[in-house]
Amino acid sequence: MASHPQYEQFKLIPFEKSIVRAAIPATATNLRDDLHPVLQRVYAIRNLTDAAELDRTLSSMLPVSLLGNSAEAAALLYQTIETGKKIVIVADFDADGATSCALAMRGLRAMGAKNLAYLVPNRFEYGYGLTPEIVAVAQALNPALIVTVDNGISSLRGVKAAKEAGMQVLVTDHHLPGAALPEADVIVNPNMSDNSFPSKSLAGVGVMFYVLIALRQRLNETGWFAQQGIAPPNLAALLDLVALGTVADVVPLDHNNRILVHQGVQRIQAGCCCAGIKALAEVADRSLPRLVASDLAYALGPRLNAAGRLQDMSLGIECLLTDDPHIADELAGRLDSLNRTRRKIEQEMKQQAVDHLSALRLSDNLPYGLCLYRKEWHQGVIGIVAARIRESCNRPVIAFAPGEEEGLIKGSARSINGLHIRDVLDSVAASNPRLLYKFGGHAMAAGLTLQRSDLAVFSREFDLEVRRRIDSESLLGVVRSDGDLKVGELQLELAELLRAAGPWGQGFPEPLFDGLFSVQQRRVLANKHVKFVLRPLAGSSPVDAIAFNQADRDAGSEAIHAAFRMDINEYRGRRSLQLLIEHFVAVPN
């Protein structure tokens, strides 16, 4: 901020950004002779050095034998299924938790388990994970085994309560473990210190998928399927759920996750997916044959998440479990309605945050780590608000709302690249032992609970810890480009090639290019988007482009420098190239 002393106030939106071209690593190699030169460059910038990393077939998946405790988990599940005792799945209330739960229910049923049920905590009554209160609810179902999906690694009290009540517990999770571990019968988590699984980026749904693979192997070895007169299930048929949960949870798309997502998206494109995913795609106005990973992230995932944010994720799980298309359509419609409500609440909360931050003077020294709280904020939407503010001011943000218990507030944190947010919270907690009631999460997102009276102290300690880990350069708004495109490369064919070359997502971003354009036409849509017709200054034909939510940036200049993604616009059966502009600046005459 000090580099802009002429600004009397900190302008939150738009945050000033610069377009920087990524350097191609010196170690870059020619991955494959038949690859388009642009794709070679894009892959090199993403540090792909081995052609094997381009293989997206299931045979290239990491073997289940590498996932620690997967065989023990399979043995525990087999023992429970064989005796006909009850298994209760306890899920998280986000999209990863919902898909993990649906995957577990569908997979276990397909392997002959007949005594199954699930529970998903209502975030407003029970909070996150396997709590003692949820164990008490589960007891009424009389389970022999509780299986947590996408949670459990921090549920010390809940696991203890379940064990004292005579239940066995299998924890399947991917969140980072704390200093103490729950005393479960088996824990499967690739992020455990003693788990050598090469991919630490599995989502909760990915962990459960591997556990099901291990169980199928165990059942094959024991002759279970022949005894039951059923065929061993093709678990790949469930990859639609794995793809949705993996992308929606914004875990890094390393090679193994790219395989899982690619295979799942292919099945969705072919219509070989559950009725709920088909229905969610329809209400989101997404064509199945043209669906890509970003549609899971920005269209299907938010609608599924809306249930857990505003009501009860059981609605989303039931949508993914039903095989009746009419029921799926009805449930997807309800999820879509909740998502519209969520967007309205989110916009109101974001505006309140913007108003608060815009009032901060530069002399107030805007914190490196921002903490925001309002007593009227909705607990289910604070994560999205934190993400929106983080995008606007390019610094880690924690948004807080009142918790269920008197005097407690719950926070949802979103980080920036290069800052591991859970490690930050861990350091704050270590330096201030009684400050945090509880916390957990990933590198880019985390959740926490503390006393409302401790917010000022926590805000100070959080900012100090962020300052220890990053410098002011990290807070600059930088749009990283994959470079420019030559004359003749700005074509529909290259857009098609890039679309099929992913899946793109967290840690493996969709290609972003930059270039200089003369503005041939412009018009503002809905008072916030700018629709352009642009001509590259280096030549080539005009091309349509759109800059979403950037109408306030357009000063009517004759030329712009734009960072853009290549997209395909389909209208009345005609397909044409369209540029999606992430950021643009006027070029001086």
Same domain flag for 243 and 121: yes
Q: Can you tell me the distance from the alpha carbon of 152 to that of 150, in angstroms, rounded to the nearest whole number?
A: 7
User: In the chain, how long is the greatest CA-to-CA distance?
Assistant: 79
Q: Average pLDDT, stretch 270-284?
A: 97
Same domain flag for 501 and 466: no
Structurally, the chain folds into a number of domains equal to 3
Same domain flag for 385 and 263: no
What is the Cα 80 distance to its own chain's centre? 33
Same domain flag for 315 and 374: no
Given 475, 505, 539, which residue is the final one in a domain?
A: 475
Residue 5 lies in a domain: no
Residue 202 lies in a domain: yes
pLDDT, one tens digit per residue, over 125-179 is: 666 789 999 999 999 999 999 999 999 998 999 999 999 999 999 999 998 888 8
Domain containing residue 421: 360-475
Same domain flag for 313 and 365: no
Same domain flag for 85 and 134: yes
Same domain flag for 320 and 379: no
pTM for this one?
0.88
Give the closest residue to 235 by CA, choosing from 214, 253, 254. 214
Residue 44 lies in a domain: no
Residue 25 lies in a domain: no
Q: Can you tell me the distance from the alpha carbon of 545 to that of 162, in angstroms, rounded to the nearest whole number?
A: 56
Give me the pLDDT at residue 455, please: 95
Same domain flag for 177 and 146: yes
For Cα atoms 549, 561, 588, give the angle at the middle one, nearest 5 degrees: 110
Q: What is the CATH number of the domain that holds 531?
A: 2.40.50.460
Residue 167 lies in a domain: yes
Q: What is the CATH number of the domain that holds 242?
A: 3.90.1640.30
Same domain flag for 137 and 236: yes
Which range is least confidently modeled, 148-152, 239-243, 552-556, 567-571?
552-556
What is the Cα 339 distance to its own chain's centre? 17
- Residue located via tokens 């990491």: 62
Same domain flag for 186 and 261: yes
pLDDT, one tens digit per residue, over 494-548 is: 999 999 999 999 889 999 999 999 999 999 998 889 999 999 987 778 999 999 9
Same domain flag for 375 and 407: yes
Given 444, 475, 506, which residue is the final one in a domain?
A: 475
Q: Residue 6 pLDDT more than 70?
A: no
Coil vs helix vs strand at 156: helix
Q: Can you tell me the distance from the alpha carbon of 560 to that of 547, in angstroms, rounded to the nearest whole number?
A: 12
Q: What is the CATH number of the domain that holds 374?
A: 3.10.310.30
Same domain flag for 220 and 297: yes
Q: Average pLDDT, stretch 460-474?
A: 90
Given 421, 448, 475, which residue is the final one in a domain?
A: 475
